[in-house]
Amino acid sequence: MKSILITGGAGFIGSHTIRQFVRRYPDYHIVNLDKLTYAGNLENLKDVEDAPNYEFVKGDIYDAAFLKELFEKYRFDGVIHLAAESHVDRSISDPNEFIKTNVVGTVNLLNVAKDQWQGDFEGKLFYHISTDEVYGSLEEGGYFTEETPYDPRSPYSASKASSDHMVRAYYNTYKLPVVISNCSNNYGPHQFPEKLIPLFINNIRNNKELPVYGKGENVRDWLYVEDHAKAIDLIYHRGRIGETYNIGGDNEWRNIDLIRKLCEIMDHKLGRMAGSSAELITYVKDRAGHDLRYAIDCSKLKNELGWSQEVTFAEGLERTVDWYLENEEWLNHVLTGEYEEYYRKQYVER
């Protein structure tokens, strides 16, 4: 039986990845290590928590001594590393947590994997999950490929870029078997309502203003989260050691166009008059250093491993809106005091 560590499994993408692996691989023992920060929520995993091949461990990847004990206990064959501070706006107001978790936490994990595997790397893999934001910002034309030079511009993307460099350094220096993927913007059920799509769904639901940064002209490439989890499964099992794979939606939207689309869907779902949600759109001060455009060329993943997006944007948005409207209890649980405090600092006092 293989023993696999998935970090950050109580978060958004992590929980979909856990579900993918727990259901598909009954002969793997999946350990979910998560600190349960504001973004980690075990309710995301209710449907798999009793599975015999799944186990949750609460812990912090910043704590090297704890990681050593964990690796000694479970003797992992593989690591899929998603734990991170993931929100750009939070990295602008408080970068230090991003360095602790994203950089030092990743290095702690690399060290413990290297020390335990002791050069016997047969059947072992350290898979690091990263973002397209490490490549910087594009103007109107062009795409990020795996060869695009790194040019991170926010504290979040700089911390992720640092962690990617450390992962590659351990491959080059110690021959640690690694693979990295860099993905575009994910959306779908269980995403914390600080990110654009769930935040705006929740605000529309509550007739609150929709704070569009700048002119709403920034472009993002959106991928349904289950398609990302399937790509992670494929890369974990068939990706070439030492390689990087870009993952994307081939689905670019200007923020304002996406927001208008979301407003239309919400009007329809809530039985409101057409155009009423769009009246909530409010242009606010731009995000500091706001990257204009991200666009991923994911042809390497498609050509080499046969991956492709399965969920269209129309279908994915519909499913996402339905999920949030049907899961008010989940939303109410995550909208704690900490969230209210964050919302006030980010949108009311800025």
Q: Which of 7, 10, 35 is nearest to 190 (CA)?
A: 10
Tell whether residue 160 is a contact of ligand NAD (CB under 6 A).
yes
Residues 6+ positions from 342 with CB-CB distance below 8 Å: 38, 90, 194
Tell whether residue 195 is a contact of ligand DAU (CB under 6 A).
yes
> How many Å apart are CA 46 and CA 75, to the nearest integer?
26
> How many Å apart are CA 249 and CA 187, to the nearest integer?
11
Output the smallest distance, CB 301 to ligand DAU, in A: 16
Q: Which of 305, 156, 297, 202 is nearest to 164 (CA)?
A: 156
To the query of whether residue 132 is one of the catalytic residues in this protein, the response is yes
To the query of whether residue 133 is one of the catalytic residues in this protein, the response is yes
Interface pattern 224-263 for ligand DAU (x via CB under 6 A):
-------------------------------x--------
* Residue whose CB is less far from ligand NAD, 186 or 277: 186
- 213's contact among ligand NAD, ligand DAU, none, with CB below 5 to 8 A by partner kind, is ligand DAU
Burial of 109 (0-12, 13-18, 19+ CB in 10 A): buried
CA distances, 215 to each of 91, 219, 266, 287, 316 (Å): 22, 11, 22, 11, 25
* Residue whose CB is less far from ligand NAD, 34 or 146: 34
- 218's contact among ligand DAU, ligand NAD, none, with CB below 5 to 8 A by partner kind, is ligand DAU
* Residue whose CB is less far from ligand DAU, 20 or 184: 184
* Residue whose CB is less far from ligand DAU, 240 or 350: 350
Name which position in 37, 111, 162, 218 contacts ligand NAD (CB under 6 A): 37
Tell whether residue 10 is a contact of ligand NAD (CB under 6 A).
yes
Catalytic residues: 132-133, 156
Q: Point out which residues bind ligand DAU (CB under 6 A).
A: 86-88, 131-133, 184-185, 195-196, 199, 211-213, 218, 220, 255, 287, 294
